[in-house]
Structure 1
């Protein structure tokens, strides 16, 4: 199995979700370790060993680019070898991996052990977390996360830019800390950009809903309520930027809104003498956005046009030109202003 499959299988084992067949695969790997090494025999000890190997694997392997096989030196005789079936790739684990983790590193519900991934390459790296959520880490970015998540929530820290695909679990919210901002999700996909040299943080949502807030905003407002209540909720095609110097959130639409409905439900954007209300309704449904305009003023406006190939903003530009109107994006809503027809 490849590196990603191995990480996913190991994560399932640590969470107690392995099937008998999957456990047999891990046992096969476990039993294949060098017979000269004294190995723990109990399930608890084995789980601790796997947890330690999980830490090193996630810290050192993401892509499956083949690497040269390393010749054993004398001090490698007591090393464990984890085979990643991706071409002829090998991942060598030092003998220290086989030692039981210290108390401070043991997997438990009361104390977490964290690892850190820094993408030093020039291409995005894929990181699989213990709950099988996937983080695509951009070059120069850093992610800090626990080897196994706590029982009540999942927390990671990001410096830089990453795209998150979070496994749904309503009982364990997923929180991303980036500078002064907290992004809370239950299961969704979204992008966060929090550069170390820039105090501004941008969160953009592709699917699902996320809550974005900053404890500093609550402090500034002298609010005793939950900081989340003075944050913003984002839906697909929406984004928010936290202005670090001004301590405020600015909500808008993403740079390139995508079509949110299945292709079979996608309505044609070719209109023949169609009322404005029909066109605006099609835009709202297709992109999941709110379009605000004076329906009474534009009640007598009809449009003939074809907009099947244009993106959202090009559609709006053409429509407004035909109406003699203008549009602005305000608080993630499209506001159209015009004098009517």
Structure 2
């Protein structure tokens, strides 16, 4: 008790085990409360020290801006409620939490929360990009990097005609033109791939610690670097997945996936867990995108409906001459085809100098009507 009488700064309280136990565990509560009430000058120090103790107890995790704003909003609501109480009830002890100190306390708490979020966001982001950057340094080709900072998926068309639906908060690095006997791209985040067939030039996706090898197929990879698992989900064709440390050679540890199969790579243990029926896996089922669920088999279907299906699958906008194509129906299968190839098949089937133009997520169809 004598020791605390000499406390003149906030840091004096932070080093006091008894004080921390009072704030965090409510031990010796009456002792500290009575001591605080003995001298009104102690109120500010006690309150500020209390808020710092609580702020330092915040878990080290990525804290969203919305979380900080919510904390601030809730704090001011409590302030308003306390102010109302103070006006209606004159309680000596309640004066400890008067308006001035509440505002100071709220400021301290918000600053602490903001600092925690900024610190973790900065260092976690640096760590999240570490594996991805290491992969890029191993590649000697000049690569183009595309980052999706929007809230919608973005379409990327590669030089071989393959298409990639890049999800928000994801990055893809790829060469302007594929050269040599292999096609390699690098993913950080989530994307759906539709690969143009070329048996002489296999396609490799490097994502965190795994490599996915294909010839011509469609599949989704989820490989956020701050997540514990990497997932590969196959929609059509055949996919081979193995650890990055094995290079691009076939290995006994290689996992072969067929349609509606998936593999979950546990990064901590470096183990592959194969899933033979993705419909029975709750996580995969919930995370499935439109493009994985919609059918691209069309039998005597209006062209307008086919365009609508493509819009829903790829989250794009298609502008086409509705009046000229209103009586056009198609029977075709667009399964296992990249988006550019789907559009080529549709335009060729319509005929009459029908063509398309892609500009990001905007597609324009020009046509004089169907044959």
Pick the TM interval, shorter chain. Answer: 0.3 to 0.5
Greater share of strand residues, 1 or 2?
Answer: 1
Q: Could you state the TM-score of these two structures normalised by the residue count of structure 1?
A: 0.40
Greater share of helix residues, 1 or 2?
Answer: 2
Q: Could you state the TM-score of these two structures normalised by the residue count of structure 2?
A: 0.37
